[in-house]
Structures are given as structure tokens and as C-alpha cells.
Amino acid sequence: MENGAISNMILQNDMILQGQPKWTFGKNTCNTYEIFVSHFRNQEGNLLPSWPILQVVEKDDALTQLFSIAVLWEAVRQTVRISDEANTNITLSLNILPKFAESDHFVEQVRSCLQETGLQSKHLQFEVSELQDLNEQGCANLNIVHDELGVSLVMGNFGTKHTNMPLLCKVHFDLIELDRSYAAQIPQNELACKTVVAVQHMADTLDMNVCAKGIDNQEQFEFFEEIGIFKGQGTLIGPVMTLDELKEYVTRYGLEKGHK
């Protein structure tokens, strides 16, 4: 697909957002949701999977900025809407492309978005994959939105192919998100179980929490809950869903506003 067609879909907000819950272990509640673009709608009204289009977006700086800003604002607006309609405060978890985090206007875009939409910074978290390289400016920008604005930071896809320890030393992460490939081996693979326990211990030392992705059965759920993992995500907890379905899930499992 040509860059111009992609740009038009972004500018016309022809992007379909979906979400998936992140369960807090030890509580019968869920207030954190990953929201992402699942599809684009072309001029003919057809839905196109997002992944091939995002591969084009990531290779073009201008498209990356255009897409990232549009998704940030739309996802935050939808989060505020769902929170109001469900009478709860949900936390939006949003993937951030490195080129956006590295841009000169990243911090101001985040600041403006929070101010104009009314979303409290404690209800926003940015996910950065450990597979993606960030330059020094990107690390600095993320630390500013964390330290000065109060946005949480998540290292996603942790333990995939290589472990990006240098990034852990540079960015003020609050949470490590364990790649789903580990949950797939639990509880059958003893070494995988021990590795996950070791990651939990490392996170404790770094004053971070851990989220386990790919929880698809009760055995996995019980294992992660028993070793003290903070959050979990997977089909057992809740599948990828439309925003209307997500609102129903929030209404059922979210804490009411004002809850202490």
C-alpha cells in the first residue's frame, strides 16, 4: 500500500481500535487495558489488518509521527469515554514506536493530550518493546514523561531473543511484561518456571512489577498468581475485544470511581 493512502486513512481516523484486559492478581478487578489499532478501513470500506500497514509506517518517519499522534489522542479519548460511561477509572496501556518517543515534540504531545482530554497521568502507561532500540533522546523523553508527567513505563516482550539489560539501566520502567512464549511452557517446563521466578526476583530488586502475557488456561493463571506476579494478560482473562465489548468488561470488573 502506498504511503499516501495510509496517510489518508490516518488523517480520516479510519482506524479500528480494540483492547484486551490486564488482570491484577489477588483482586477480582481489572482496571488496566491495552488498546491498539487492529485494522484500517480503506476508501472502499474494506477492513485491512493493521500489521502489514504498520510495517510500512515504521519505515517512514513522517508516517510514524502522524500515526503515533493520531493513535495517542484517539486511544486516550476512548479511554476517557469508557471510564465515564462505566463509572470507573481505567488505565490505558499503549504501545509507543521508538521514533515517536525520540521526536522533539513527544513530551509536549503527551502533556497536551493529558491536559486537553482530562486523563490523569497515573491512568496512562506506555509500552516499549525490548526488541526496539531507543536512542539517547528517546530514553530521555521517556524519563521526562515518567518523572515529570507521571506516566508509567512498561518494557514489553521481555525475554524475547535477547534481554535488553542496557535499556533497563537507562529508562525508568515501572513494569516488565514477560513475553507470551514463557506462559506457553508453564507448568510443563521446569526451567521455564524457574526462569519466570527469577525474573520476578529481578523485578523485586529493581522495584518493578511483572505482567505475564499469554495466559490461556487455569494452570498458568494459578502459577503466576502463586509466585506473586502483579498482572496477567491472555485469552483466559479476556480475549481481544471491540471497545464496546471492552466497556462491558470494564463495567463488570472495574472499580467504581472514588473507590479507596
Q: Would 176 be classed as within a structural domain? A: yes
Phi then psi dihedrals of residue 248, to 5 deg? -65, -40
Check residue 132 and give its pLDDT.
Answer: 74
Query: Which residues of the chain have a pLDDT value below 70?
Result: 161-163, 256-260
Q: What is the pLDDT of residue 236?
A: 95
Asked if residue 68 belongs to a domain, the reply is yes
**Residue 150 lies inside a defined structural domain of this protein:** yes
Q: What grid cell was written down for 118?
A: 482530562
Domain extent, residue 220, equals 3-253
pLDDT value of position 28? 77
Domain assignment of residue 260, yes or no: no
Q: Domain for residue 258, yes or no?
A: no
pTM, two decimal places: 0.93
Are residues 151 and 110 in contact, defined by beta-carbon separation less than 8 angstroms? yes
pLDDT per position as a tens digit, 31-81: 999 999 999 999 899 999 999 999 999 999 999 999 999 999 999 999 999
- State the pLDDT at residue 81: 96
Check if the beta carbon of residue 28 is closer than 8 Å to that of residue 85.
no
Structural domain count of the chain: 1
Residue 62 is assigned to a structural domain of this protein: yes
**CATH assignment of the domain containing 119:** 3.20.20.450
Q: Which residue in 228, 230, 255, 250 sits closest to 238, CA to CA?
A: 250
Looking at the domain assignment, is residue 259 inside a domain?
A: no
Instruction: Give the per-residue pLDDT at 257.
Output: 59
